[in-house]
Amino acid sequence: MQVIRSLAQARALFDVFGQPIGFVPTMGALHEGHLELVRQARSECTTVAASIFVNPMQFAPGEDFERYPRDLDADCVKLTETGVDIVFVPSDDEIYPAGFSTAIDVGALASVYEGAIRPGHFRGVATIVAKLLNVVHPQVLYVGQKDAQQTAVLRKMVRDLEIPVHVEVVPTVRDSDGLALSSRNAYLNAAERAQAPSLYRTLLALRDALEAGMSKSAAIQRARSELGSLAVLDYLDVVDADTFEPLEAMRPPSFAIAAARFGATRLLDNVWMPHG
């Protein structure tokens, strides 16, 4: 596996490596969810490129940018073992040189749920991914369903701006108890870790209640009571999978989405509806 650090090297990839190129952008702290993206890219593309960049633009002041887990050596071992050809590890200065000021905003979709709680987050996500796509120009972009709203933001940006890439959304990888894998799971203490799978169970209960014909308000109330005092819920809702507008009834394509804090750690999860 080749490790490259400059934009100039990354721009040259397209002329050197075989196509199609599959691209997996990450913030490092890699787990099986990321590696599942790599495996899918490996099975579909001639060249697999990944990137590791903890993107300051997608963290709001006071969030966990500084303490976000970083372990480049371990990440590179995992990527090599999973068959990545190139990993791009740019510096902050290369991505955000002095005077950088451009941002991509996908509109209303970026200002609800995660976007409401983390203002500017999706501008940061959309902007870094557009920039990485312009540098690497892969044919396929692999993103994880765990960050459902992020996948919707990126699909919308790609569609609206006609960015020449196919976005492939890879199903969430879970621990045996149902907890969605996330780099932020490392923040959980033992008690919180034991409670964290309740987020997924809450979403499944919501889905099941809706599928059984319960009204949305009743189903959400029941799901909230099942989560009980285990966590502080930021939101729990059923939304259109493309626009993230709330849906009163269940209809595909939609997501049941939730975010909750277990202690100081904020976790996200979702269930693709009507297929769990």
Task: Please give the residue ranges that form the binding site for its own copies (CB under 8 A).
Answer: 7, 11, 99-109, 127, 130-131, 134-135, 137, 156-157, 160-164, 243
- If the CB atoms of residues 101 and 217 are measured against its own copies, the closer one turns out to be 101
- If the CB atoms of residues 11 and 261 are measured against its own copies, the closer one turns out to be 11
Per the DSSP assignment, residues forming a β-bridge with 257 are 237, 270
- If the CB atoms of residues 35 and 132 are measured against its own copies, the closer one turns out to be 132
Of the residues 31, 34, 121, 137, only one is catalytic, namely 34
Shortest distance, position 42 Cβ to its own copies, whole Å? 26
Shortest distance, position 157 Cβ to its own copies, whole Å? 6
* Sign of CA pseudo-dihedral 143, 148, 152, 154: negative
State both tokens at 268. 């996200």
Active site residue 275: no
d(CA 251, CA 270): 15
Shortest distance, position 126 Cβ to its own copies, whole Å? 8
**What DSSP assignment string belongs to 64-91?**
STTTS---HHHHHHHHHHHT-SEEE---
At 45 the three-state DSSP class reads: coil
Name which of 12, 95, 104, 90 is nearest 51 in CA terms. Answer: 90
Query: Which residues, at least 6 apart from 6, have a Cβ–Cβ distance to it below 8 Å?
Result: 90, 94
d(CA 165, CA 141): 7
Amino acid at 229: S
Shortest distance, position 93 Cβ to its own copies, whole Å? 14
- If the CB atoms of residues 89 and 227 are measured against its own copies, the closer one turns out to be 89
Tracing tokens 């940018």 back to the chain, one arrives at: 65
CA dihedral 152, 154, 157, 161 (to 10 degrees): -130
State both tokens at 22. 């599959």
Shortest distance, position 207 Cβ to its own copies, whole Å? 26
Task: Let me know: does 172 contact 180? Beta carbons within 8 Å.
Answer: yes
CA dihedral 134, 107, 110, 50 (to 10 degrees): -10
- If the CB atoms of residues 156 and 207 are measured against its own copies, the closer one turns out to be 156
- If the CB atoms of residues 164 and 171 are measured against its own copies, the closer one turns out to be 164
Shortest distance, position 137 Cβ to its own copies, whole Å? 7
Active site residues: 34
